[in-house]
């Protein structure tokens, strides 16, 4: 039985608030087109490296949920 636990942290992609130089905090800014592309690239990298997750935990904010998908 393997008892190793690995935790991976990943920041959300670029959001509209990033483009507007707004400190986001709880501001629910969605991803920009660039942010969605960043998330897609990261997903492809993880898949290519055959990295799989048992569980994904994300903030309920739009930018985090979009990135997690």
What value does the mean pLDDT take over residues 42-55? 93
User: In the predicted model, is pLDDT for residue 3 greater than 70?
Assistant: yes
Supply 36's token pair. Answer: 């969605």
Q: Tell me the pTM.
A: 0.78
Locate the domains of the chain by residue range.
16-21+28-68
- Reported as a single tens digit per residue, the pLDDT across 12-48 is 999 988 888 888 777 888 999 999 999 999 999 999 9
Distance CA 18, CA 26 (A): 13
Q: Which pLDDT value is given to residue 1?
A: 64
What value does the mean pLDDT take over residues 49-64? 92
Place of tokens 């992609």: 13
What is the number of other CB atoms lying within 10 angstroms of the CB of residue 27?
14
Distance CA 62, CA 12 (A): 10
Angle ∠(39,24,22) on CA atoms, nearest 5: 105
Higher pLDDT residue, 3 or 59?
Answer: 59
């Amino acid at each position: 039985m393997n008892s190793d636990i690995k935790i991976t942290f990943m920041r959300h992609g670029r959001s509209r608030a990033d483009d507007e130089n707004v400190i986001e905090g709880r501001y629910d800014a969605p991803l920009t087109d660039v942010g969605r592309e960043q998330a897609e690239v990261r997903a492809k990298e993880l898949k290519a490296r055959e990295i799989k997750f048992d569980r994904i935990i994300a903030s309920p904010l739009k930018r985090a949920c979009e990135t997690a998908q």
